[in-house]
Structure 1
Amino acid sequence: MKIRLAHLSDIHFGGENVAAVAGAADRIRAGGFDLTIVSGDLTRYAEKPEFELAKAWLEALPGPRLVTPGNHDAPYLAWAERIFAPFRRYEHYIGPAPYQAWRGPGVAVRGINTARGAQPRLNWSKGQISVTQAKAAAEWFEPSDHLRIVVVHHPLIEMIGGPMTARVWGGPRAAEVLTEAQVDLVLSGHIHAPFTWPYPHGDGRTYAVGCGTLSVRERGVPPSFNEVEVAGASIRVTALAWTGSHYEPYRTWSLDRRTDQANP
């Protein structure tokens, strides 16, 4: 199996780094990727002009694409809509909010919406995932899916030393469920910094992979996005940083896949 994925997150249209976003689109168009993934926060405040920019940018990319919402994709200022119909605008411009899915030969990708318009805590921007959501994703995979990927916005388990927290309600239990389902990668955004680490469950071969931001809201890391390449038993994740004129490698990780799933 050989597959190449572009993983972007936290573009925050309305507050995007215009040059970095344009450069990412150019690289994706030239890169021969099998799938482009955006793990949430397409917009800054979920305003309609921001969604229009996001939609136009996505539609200019080669397909296929898979997108999941982030907390910034629920209206920030229109509080009534945020509470009662938080992803109505997202679904109008982008697509289904509960989840999107994609399947190719031997590979399957399933989204889970960890964002909420309101929660019984003051910081509603933090993540939440139910066991029902996690199990529905786990049960969606088929025996022929040798590479299994889940896409969320919030990291289910906190990044050690990260620039901010996700504090996902239900995250640790969901990570266990996905590990039991032999998911290979759980892609996320939210904290604006790239990272990888294995979940502390099972065989240690289910990996969290975080993506940086393409917005001006940098948190100690240049604007960046990830390229994920899978070949046989190896998963290679490269965080590409924007220099102001082009992208170059910022960090690279090599991850081992489960040998019973890896195909040469």
Structure 2
Amino acid sequence: MIRIAQLSDVHFGDENLPAVEAATSLLQADPPDLILITGDITRFAEVAELEAARDWLERLPRPWLVTPGNHDAPYLAWYERIFTPFARYERIIGPAWSQSHLDDQIAVAGVNTARGAQWRLNWSKGQISRDQVRTAVNFLDAAPADRVRLVALHHPLTEMIAGPMTAKVWGGVDAARAFSEARVDLVLSGHVHAPFALPYPFADERTYAVGCGTLSVRERGVPASFNMIEVDPDAIRVKALTWSGGQFEAYRTWSLDRRA
């Protein structure tokens, strides 16, 4: 069995410190095969927030992969946000535009769906380009066929019905279709601060969108949470663990059929 932890939207500067510490202790005590952090590790991408996020990442058991979110481009330094949106992130955390992980069980393509500025008023929404999709698919296609194939990004590519907020990803539906046709197993995201798991309605419908909650105080109807994912040959189980104030407890579990 393969075990993957997914954490998202920690928002250092607005982090839920007891929940972050408890999640960190759980992962240190029983390390999974991989930890994925799907964006918004800071509140405003201030240097102190990025440094706090870096210090936290260094405490997590490896391997881990982190991809940025819209909050990881400076909110207050407008010149940087428009012209060099992820320079601070790359200096303190690591690569912003493309990340990847490959081992003897798992292949992950990290994709940055956040933008510093866009040709629309709400810059917090997502974008994914054809080149980004092509790069991710090419990486996963080059991996051995028996690897679990994952895409990690911040914004959900398609909208969650009755979700607490929208992502409105430009190019999102086309990307979801392309990842489905490429036989990706999971597309993992954050942003909406609520966990979910649902199939994309494309190809064989065995590519699933999995959303993660937040470990910040910026809750949207769901307590602070993170996901534990277990992969067996026949099924993928996603368990959302929510913070009760004293411990993490099972909130919801999804069992997802794997393709043959």
What is the TM-score when the length of structure 1 is the normalising length?
Answer: 0.96
> SS at 1:100's partner residue?
strand
Q: 1:217 to 1:143 in 2, by over 3 A?
A: closer
Residue identity in the other structure for 1:66: L
Task: Name the CA distance, whole Å, in 2 between partners of 1:101 and 1:30.
Answer: 25
Give the gaps of 5 or more residues in structure 2: none
> SS at 1:67's partner residue?
strand
Cα drift, residue 145 of structure 1: 3.8
| CA offset digits 1:83-105 (Å, max 9, x no partner) | 00000111111110011111111
Residue identity in the other structure for 1:33: P
Find the counterpart in structure 2 of residue 110 from structure 1: 109
Cα drift, residue 120 of structure 1: 0.2
More off after superposition, 196-205 vs 143-152: 143-152
| CA offset digits 1:12-67 (Å, max 9, x no partner) | 00000000000110111112301111000000000000001100000011101100
| CA offset digits 1:137-191 (Å, max 9, x no partner) | 0111125143100001000000111000000000000011111110000000000
Whether 2:45 is the aligned partner of 1:64: answer no
For 1:78-117, what aligned pairs fall within 5 Å after superposition? Answer: 78-117=77-116
Find the counterpart in structure 2 of residue 229 from structure 1: 230
Task: Name the CA distance, whole Å, in 1 between partners of 2:145 and 2:86.
Answer: 30
CA contact under 8 A between 2:5 and 2:228: conserved in structure 1? yes
| CA offset digits 1:202-254 (Å, max 9, x no partner) | 00000000000000010000000000010111100000000101101000000
> SS at 1:102's partner residue?
strand
For 1:26-45, what aligned pairs fall within 5 Å after superposition? Answer: 26-45=25-44
Cα drift, residue 136 of structure 1: 1.0
| CA offset digits 1:69-94 (Å, max 9, x no partner) | 00000000001100000001111111
Find the counterpart in structure 2 of residue 121 from structure 1: 120
Residue identity in the other structure for 2:23: A
For 1:197-216, what aligned pairs fall within 5 Å after superposition? Answer: 197-216=198-217
What is the TM-score when the length of structure 2 is the normalising length?
Answer: 0.98
Residue identity in the other structure for 1:107: I
CA contact under 8 A between 1:107 and 1:145: conserved in structure 2? no
For 1:183-262, what aligned pairs fall within 5 Å after superposition? Answer: 183-259=184-260
CA contact under 8 A between 2:107 and 2:143: conserved in structure 1? no
> SS at 2:98's partner residue?
coil
Residue identity in the other structure for 2:222: V
More off after superposition, 25-34 vs 140-149: 140-149
Task: Name the CA distance, whole Å, in 2 between partners of 1:143 and 1:21.
Answer: 33
Whether 2:154 is the aligned partner of 1:153: answer yes
Same amino acid, percent of matched pairs: 62
Task: Name the CA distance, whole Å, in 2 between partners of 1:233 and 1:198.
Answer: 16
Give the gaps of 5 or more residues in structure 1: 260-264
> SS at 2:26's partner residue?
helix
Residue identity in the other structure for 1:144: P
> SS at 1:75's partner residue?
coil
> SS at 2:113's partner residue?
coil
Q: 1:145 to 1:107 in 2, by over 3 A?
A: farther
Find the counterpart in structure 2 of residue 144 from structure 1: 144
Task: Name the CA distance, whole Å, in 1 between partners of 2:213 and 2:51.
Answer: 22
Residue identity in the other structure for 2:110: G
Cα drift, residue 125 of structure 1: 0.5
Cα drift, residue 106 of structure 1: 3.5
